[in-house]
C-alpha cells in the first residue's frame, strides 16, 4: 500500500508541475492578448479624438470639449482632457468621480511631449490608461487621456487558473485510477500469485509455477525471484521423485540422479558437448527477434542432459540474430529464464557452411550412411571445408577447456569425425567421446568415401565411440579392420593403435521420460478446432523433410487405406508436421516437390466438401506445439526407410500418460528394437502399412492401453538420463595413467 500511495502522490505532483507550468504560460499569453487588445482600442480612440479635441483645447473652449466627450464616452470607457498644467478640464460623467487629482501618465506625457500608456489602477479598479499630448503651435496645450476598464484581464486570468485547476483534478484522478488498476493487475496480483505459489511450495504442495512478471517492469530482481522459485519447484519435484523411487526400490535414472552422478565422477570439470545444431537459434521475423528450437532429434536428446549436467554446448550459430543475442565470444546462458549451461556459438562463413554442412556432411556422409537409394556426392572442395570447420570447432573446444584438468568432451554426430583426433592432439589428457547418431554402413558401402581413412583416424582419436546398436558397432569395427592398420579386440570391442585404445559400444539414445517443462494445456477439442476438422480419429506424423523418412510412401499407404476401407473416410484425418530441411540441396528440393505432389494427388482423389484426408503443415514447429499432437493423436506414424534411432517414436510414447494412442513404427529404425509393442511395418510395403493404420484405429482400448503402458515403461527406464549416465560412466572409467602416458 505504501508503494501505491507513493506512486499516486508522485503522479499528482508530476501532473501538478506540468499543468501549473502550462497554466503560467497560458495566463501570460492571455494577459498579453487582452492588453494588446486594450492598447489597440485606446490608440484608435485616442488618436481619433485628438484631431477633434486639439483645436478646441487650443482655443480654451471647455464647453466644446465637453460636447465632444459626451459623444464618445461609454460605460467602461472614460475620456478626460487636461490643460498644460495637468489640471483636469473635462471628463466623462462615469470617469470624473473616480479620477485621482493627477494621473502619472498625464504628467509624463506633458513633461516629455510623448504618448504614455500602461495598465494601472484608477479608482481602485484595473484600468488601461492612454495619455496623448495635445499641441498648439507645436507647444504642449494639454493631454487627452483615454481610460479603459481592464477588470476583465484579471477575470480572464482567474478563469484560466480555474480551468487548469479543474483540468488538474480530473487528469490526476483519471491517471490515478488507471495507475491503481495497472498496479493491481500487473504488480499486486502477479506478486500475490508468486507469494501464494512460494507458500504452497513451502507447504509441500506441488503446484506449477506461475508466469514470471515482466522483467522490464520489475527489473532483474523480479526475474531472479521467479527463476529461483522455478528452480526450487524443480528441485522439490526431483527430490520427491527420488524419494518415491527409493521407496519402490526403483533404479530409474532421473535428471537429479544424473546431476549427482556427474558431480561425483567429474567433480568441477565441465562437460563440453559439440554439435552442429544449436539448442536454440535467434531469427528475425517481421522486425522482431524470435527464439526457435530446431527440429532435431539430437537437440531433443541432448538438451535435457545439458540442463542436468551443466557445462558448455559448442554449436554452429546459424540464426541471423544469433550474434546480437550472444556476447563477444558467442556465449549465452540457457535456458534464458533459468540458465543451467552455456551455449558457445561458432560462426561460419556461407562458403564454409555450404561446403562442410550442405556439401560433405549432407550430400556425402548422410546418404552414404543411410541405405535409401540416394547417391552420395563427394567433392574435394567440400572435404577441404569439412576439415577446416572441424579445426575451427576444435579451437573453440580447446579454448573452453583451457585450464581444466582432464576435461570431458562429448562430440556429436557425423559432422565432426575429425574433431576427436584434433582435440586429443592438443590435449591428450582430455576424455573424448564421439556419438554417431546415424547408422554405420557395411565396410563396402563406406569404402565409397574417398577420405574414409582420414575420417576413421579422426574418430579413433576418441577414447569412446558410441552407436545406437551393436550392429552398427560391428560394421564400424569391420570397416576399421579392412581400412587401416590397427588391432581389433573383438572380445572387448575396442581398437588399439599404438598405445591408444578406443572403445566402441552401443548406447541406444532416448528422450526425457516426461515433458521437460510444464506441458501446455491444450485439449483435443481445442486442437481439432484449430485444425478446422471434426473427426473420430486423428493421426500424426512429425518429421524433417528428408528422403530417409519415407513420407511419399506413407501418404500412398494412407491412400491405399482409404481406398480399401472407405467406411473410414470423413472419420480419419492424418496431420503431417513437416519442418523444411536442407532446402538448398537439389535432392531435398526434389523431395519437397514429390511430397507436395503426392499429398495433392491423395487429397484430390478422396476429399469431400467438408473433409480432406491429409493436412500438411509445412513449417517449423516448436516443441510445445508438437506436444498437443502427440498427446491427442489416436495413432502416430514413424515409417522411416532407414534410421539410426528416431526419437519421434519415443517422444510420442513419453507424453502418453493416458496410455492411449498407437505407434506405427518402421522395422528399419533403431527404436523398433526397443518398442516391441508398436505396430511394426515395412514402410516399402504400402499394403502392410495401410493394414497397420486399420489395426490402429480398430484396436481394442484394453490392448491399446496395455501396449502403450509397456512402451512407456521401456522409455521411462531407458531414458536419456540413463543414456548419458552410461556413456559418461564408460568415458570416466578411462584410467588416469593412460592420459599421463600420453603426456609423456
First to last CA, the chain: 70
Residues in CB range of 440: below 8 A, 6 or more apart: 369, 446, 467, 472, 473, 475, 476, 479
**pLDDT value at residue 5:** 76
Where are the chain's structural domains?
20-155, 259-506, 524-718
Helix axes 255-266, 215-248, angle to 10 degrees: 90
Do 289 and 324 meet the contact criterion of CB atoms below 8 Å apart? yes
∠ CA(183), CA(187), CA(190), 5° rounding?
135
d(CA 447, CA 453): 9
Strand order in the sheet with 635-638: 614-618, 572-579, 537-544, 635-638, 662-666, 679-681
408-412 and 271-274 strand pairing: parallel
**pLDDT value at residue 744:** 37
281-285 and 271-274 strand pairing: unpaired
Residues in CB range of 726: below 8 A, 6 or more apart: 507
**pLDDT value at residue 297:** 84
Residues of the chain with pLDDT > 90: what percent?
55
**pLDDT value at residue 194:** 67
Residues in CB range of 477: below 8 A, 6 or more apart: 488, 490, 493, 495, 504
Residues in CB range of 388: below 8 A, 6 or more apart: 352, 356
**pLDDT value at residue 483:** 96
**pLDDT value at residue 34:** 86
CA 47 to chain centre: 77
d(CA 285, CA 301): 27
Domains 259-506 and 524-718 share a fold: yes
CATH among 3.40.50.970, 3.40.50.2000, 3.40.50.300, 3.40.640.10 for 259-506: 3.40.50.2000
- Those residues of the chain that have pLDDT short of 70 are 1-3, 58-61, 194, 197-198, 200-250, 516-517, 735-744
Strand order in the sheet with 331-334: 331-334, 341-346, 312-316, 271-274, 408-412, 431-435, 464-467, 500-506, 494-497, 487-489
**pLDDT value at residue 224:** 57
d(CA 38, CA 41): 5
Integer CA distances (angstroms), 298 to 95, 277, 509, 511, 547, in order: 101, 8, 9, 10, 18
DSSP 562-625: HHH-GGGTTTEEEEEEEE---TTSHHHHHHHHHHHHHHHHHHHHH--SS--SEEEEES---HHH
Torsion angle of the four alpha carbons 648, 652, 654, 656, in this order, in degrees rounded to the nearest 10? 180
**pTM, rounded to two decimals:** 0.72
CATH among 1.20.120.420, 1.10.3720.10, 3.40.50.2000, 1.20.120.1200 for 524-718: 3.40.50.2000
What stretches of 335-476 adopt beta strand conformation (E)? Answer: 341-346, 408-412, 431-435, 464-467
Domain 20-155, CATH 3.40.50.410 — does that match? no
**pLDDT value at residue 70:** 76
Amino acid at each position: 500500500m505504501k508503494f501505491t500511495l507513493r506512486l499516486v502522490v508522485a503522479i499528482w505532483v508530476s501532473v501538478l508541475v506540468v499543468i501549473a507550468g502550462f497554466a503560467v504560460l497560458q495566463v501570460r499569453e492571455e494577459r498579453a492578448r487582452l492588453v494588446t487588445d486594450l492598447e489597440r482600442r485606446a490608440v484608435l480612440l485616442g488618436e481619433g479624438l485628438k484631431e477633434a479635441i486639439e483645436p478646441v483645447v487650443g482655443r480654451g473652449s471647455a464647453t466644446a470639449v465637453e460636447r465632444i466627450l459626451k459623444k464618445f464616452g461609454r460605460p467602461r470607457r472614460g475620456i478626460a482632457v487636461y490643460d498644460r498644467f495637468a489640471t483636469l478640464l473635462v471628463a466623462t460623467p462615469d470617469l470624473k468621480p473616480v479620477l485621482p487629482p493627477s494621473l502619472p501618465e498625464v504628467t509624463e506625457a506633458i513633461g516629455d511631449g510623448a504618448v504614455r500608456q500602461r495598465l494601472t489602477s484608477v479608482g481602485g479598479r484595473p484600468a488601461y490608461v492612454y495619455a496623448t499630448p495635445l499641441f498648439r503651435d507645436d507647444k504642449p496645450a494639454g493631454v487627452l487621456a483615454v481610460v479603459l476598464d481592464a477588470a476583465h484581464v484579471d477575470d480572464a486570468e482567474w478563469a484560466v487558473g480555474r480551468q487548469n485547476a479543474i483540468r488538474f483534478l480530473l487528469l490526476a484522478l483519471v491517471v490515478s485510477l488507471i495507475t491503481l488498476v495497472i498496479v493491481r493487475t500487473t504488480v499486486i496480483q502477479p506478486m500475490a500469485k508468486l507469494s501464494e505459489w512460494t507458500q504452497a511450495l513451502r507447504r509441500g504442495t506441488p503446484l506449477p509455477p506461475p508466469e514470471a512478471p515482466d522483467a522490464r517492469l520489475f527489473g532483474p530482481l523480479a526475474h531472479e525471484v521467479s527463476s529461483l522459485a522455478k528452480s526450487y519447484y524443480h528441485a522439490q519435484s526431483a527430490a520427491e521423485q527420488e524419494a518415491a523411487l527409493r521407496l519402490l526400490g526403483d533404479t530409474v535414472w532421473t535428471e537429479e540422479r544424473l546431476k549427482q552422478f556427474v558431480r561425483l565422477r567429474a567433480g568441477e570439470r565441465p562437460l563440453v558437448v559439440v554439435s552442429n545444431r544449436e539448442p536454440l537459434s535467434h531469427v528475425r521475423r517481421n522486425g522482431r527477434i524470435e527464439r526457435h528450437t530446431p527440429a532435431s532429434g539430437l537437440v531433443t536428446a541432448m538438451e535435457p542432459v545439458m540442463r542436468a549436467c551443466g557445462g558448455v554446448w559448442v554449436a554452429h550459430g546459424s540464426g541471423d540474430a544469433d550474434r546480437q543475442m550472444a556476447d563477444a565470444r558467442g556465449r549465452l546462458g540457457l535456458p534464458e529464464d533459468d540458465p543451467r549451461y552455456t551455449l558457445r556459438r561458432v560462426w561460419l562463413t556461407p562458403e564454409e557452411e555450404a561446403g562442410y554442412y550442405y556439401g560433405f556432411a549432407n550430400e556425402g556422409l548422410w546418404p552414404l550412411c543411410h541405405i535409401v537409394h540416394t547417391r552420395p556426392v563427394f567433392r574435394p572442395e567440400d572435404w577441404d571445408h569439412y576439415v577446416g570447420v572441424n579445426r575451427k570447432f576444435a579451437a573453440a573446444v580447446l579454448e573452453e577447456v583451457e585450464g581444466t584438468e582432464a576435461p570431458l568432451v562429448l562430440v556429436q554426430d557425423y559432422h565432426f569425425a575429425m574433431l576427436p583426433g584434433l582435440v586429443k592432439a592438443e590435449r591428450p589428457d582430455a576424455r573424448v567421446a564421439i556419438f554417431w547418431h546415424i547408422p554405420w554402413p557395411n565396410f563396402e558401402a563406406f569404402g565409397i568415401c574417398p577420405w574414409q581413412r582420414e575420417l576413421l583416424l579422426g574418430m579413433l582419436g576418441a577414447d569412446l565411440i558410441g552407436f545406437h546398436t551393436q550392429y552398427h558397432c560391428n560394421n564400424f569395427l569391420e570397416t576399421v579392420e579392412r581400412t587401416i592398420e590397427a588391432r581389433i579386440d573383438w572380445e572387448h570391442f575396442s581398437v588399439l593403435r599404438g598405445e591408444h585404445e578406443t572403445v566402441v559400444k552401443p548406447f541406444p539414445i532416448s528422450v526425457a521420460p516426461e515433458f521437460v517443462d510444464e506441458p501446455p494445456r491444450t485439449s483435443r477439442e481445442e486442437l481439432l478446432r484449430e485444425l478446422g476438422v471434426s473427426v473420430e480419429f486423428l493421426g500424426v506424423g512429425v518429421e524433417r523433410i528428408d528422403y530417409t523418412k519415407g513420407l511419399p510412401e506413407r501418404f500412398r499407404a494412407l491412400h491405399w487405406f482409404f481406398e480399401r476401407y472407405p467406411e473410414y473416410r470423413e472419420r480419419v484425418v492424418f496431420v503431417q508436421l513437416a519442418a523444411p530441411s536442407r532446402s538448398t540441396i537439389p535432392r531435398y528440393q526434389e523431395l519437397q516437390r514429390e511430397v507436395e505432389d503426392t499429398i495433392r494427388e491423395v487429397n484430390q482423389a478422396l476429399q469431400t466438401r467438408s473433409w480432406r484426408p491429409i493436412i500438411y503443415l509445412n513449417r517449423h514447429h516448436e516443441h510445445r506445439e508438437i506436444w498437443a499432437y502427440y498427446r491427442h493423436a489416436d495413432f502416430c506414424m514413424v515409417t522411416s526407410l532407414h534410421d539410426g534411432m528416431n526419437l519421434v517414436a519415443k517422444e510420442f510414447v513419453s507424453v502418453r500418460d493416458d496410455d492411449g494412442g498407437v505407434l506405427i513404427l518402421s522395422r528399419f529404425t533403431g527404436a523398433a528394437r526397443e518398442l516391441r509393442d508398436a505396430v511394426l511395418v515395412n514402410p516399402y510395403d504400402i499394403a502392410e502399412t495401410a493394414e497397420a493404420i486399420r489395426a490402429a484405429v480398430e484396436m481394442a482400448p484394453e490392448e491399446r492401453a496395455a501396449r502403450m503402458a509397456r512402451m512407456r515403461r521401456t522409455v521411462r527406464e531407458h531414458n536419456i538420463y540413463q543414456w548419458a549416465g552410461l556413456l559418461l560412466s564408460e568415458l570416466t572409467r578411462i584410467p588416469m595413467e593412460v592420459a599421463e602416458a600420453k603426456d609423456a
